[in-house]
Amino acid sequence: MENVGSKIKLNPAARKQAERPRTGFWLVVLGAALWGADPLFRIILLREHITPTQIVLLEHIVIALFVFPVLWKHRSEMKGLKLRHIGALLFLSWGGSAIATILFTLGLTHGNLNAVLLLQKLQPIFAIIMARMLLKEKLPKQFGGLLVLALAGTYLLTFGFTFPFGHMNDFVKVGSLLSLGAAALWGGSTVMGRLMVGKMEYETVTSLRFILALPLLIGITINQGDPWQIPTGAGPLAAVSLNLLGQALLPGLFSLLVYYKGLTTTKASVATLAELSFPMVGVLINWIVFNEMVTIAQACGFILIWAALFSISRRSAA
């Protein structure tokens, strides 16, 4: 007599389809985790007296050189785009890729870094609101509790067991406002990306995100009129070039390719919590590069965030 277990094993197609949401979720986690290396590259470039807008423009030029052949290969996918798709692409490229990155880079040079990092955790709030409004997504069971758990973990990663309320002036400085704007745009980009991967291949969405942002970035850079202070010596120029290339390809292009691949089978409201892997990687980089040991509070933050991510992954697969 054949048991139930053997019957399940005889249906690999169904099992593979059930595993796709979970795989997609962890691809989003991986893509977002790679963003954790982005501030490291960005701060090094800022120390070379390159302005935030110039950094973002150079980054997009490098990435555009790699993705243009991909876009040309998939150019047929751009036929028949509706107005809402064009609006989503402009939001992704102008808002999420160009303006948000400029705001975040500016935020690294102003105000309290802890406040900037904490305000980035508001991305799930913006994404959840837009996902419910635009995509009509239903939330997983106990999503509210898991959201609180994840945000509690990110708070511990940022502030530890202390309370920042005695220093509210840090939260109203320029850096905090810039970070809040970036959080809103990136949270909205999660929803717009989910909308577009249902219409196009994720490689095409990624290519358009960077290429469409170039005209806006060129216009902003020209309008600002800041002088270019690229190092002239062979050694410093090579160092800046390698750093820029690494920033553009690792936390830039590759991370987004992985991210959008995972987003094809992951809800936007769920994906935005997966993006909380970003602060965890930031803590590890501080530990490895700057010899800052992980505190007990940060370890507790790791546990809380990963517990939330694991629970959401299980619910997404179900």
* Annotated domain spans of the chain: 24-317
Distance between CA 1 and CA 18 in Å, rounded? Answer: 27
Distance between CA 33 and CA 222 in Å, rounded? Answer: 33
Q: Give residue for tokens 């059930």.
A: 18
Distance between CA 29 and CA 106 in Å, rounded? Answer: 25
Distance between CA 281 and CA 302 in Å, rounded? Answer: 10
- Do 208 and 89 touch, CB atoms closer than 8 A? yes
Q: Residue-wise pLDDT tens for the chain (318 aa)?
A: 333 333 334 345 545 555 566 788 889 889 888 887 887 788 788 877 788 899 999 999 998 999 999 999 988 988 888 888 899 999 999 999 999 999 988 887 876 565 676 677 677 778 877 887 777 777 777 878 888 888 888 778 767 787 765 555 555 567 777 888 998 898 898 888 878 877 888 788 889 999 999 999 999 999 988 888 777 777 778 878 888 888 888 888 888 788 878 877 887 667 767 877 877 787 777 677 767 677 788 788 878 887 887 787 677 655
**266 CB-contact burial (10 Å; exposed 0-12 / middle 13-18 / buried 19+):** buried
pTM of the model: 0.72
- Written as six digits, the tokens of 241 are 């070039």
Q: Give residue for tokens 């150019």.
A: 75
Helix 202-211 / helix 213-224 crossing angle, nearest 10 deg: 20
Q: How far is CA 246 from CA 2, 188, 206, 287, in A?
A: 55, 26, 18, 20
